Amino acid sequence: MSFLSKLFGKKDTPKPVVERNMFNLQMEDIVTYDLEDYTVVSKLSYDDHGFKWHAYQLEGMSRTIWLSVEMDDELNLGIYEKVKMKLTLPIPKKIEHDGTYYYLDESGSAKVYGVGRGQNVNGITCEYFDFCDEEEERFLSVEKWGSEIEVSSGYEIEEYELKIIASN
């Protein structure tokens, strides 16, 4: 092969970008929600005896949110933000937060697989407790990671409210 053919020859063709959906977001993809762009920085995949769902940590300029993705007869999407709330075991069946009462809807334990910032929980089992208000419009997610209990507040959204831009 001559010098010129090496210099001007055929270049490696880039891999085609895989079309993104709610189940295959990748680190550094951009998700636009409520007129703000967020970067996917973590993905947690939960598996409770074969029932699976995902949580993507999305980092924006002004806040960090979690996008919950679950297929249960239909696609369920939610936006969650961590809240400061002191809970101890046993987790109660009724919780008050910001003047709203939330009632335990379901609970269990799930094996968690994490990538990105979430890789540190890869292979850990967490206990989860899902709460909803009386109208089933607002939600609290309680997760027990070892001795730490995390609480997030959220609400459902529709898929059309999100726009995805693949990073590669």
**Is the confidence at residue 7, as pLDDT, over 60?**
no
Amino acid letter, residue 121 = V
d(CA 34, CA 163): 10
* Residue pair 47/56 in contact by the 8 Å Cβ criterion: no
pTM: predicted TM-score of the whole model, two decimal places: 0.87
Q: What average pLDDT score do residues 78-101 get? A: 95
- pLDDT for 6 equals 58
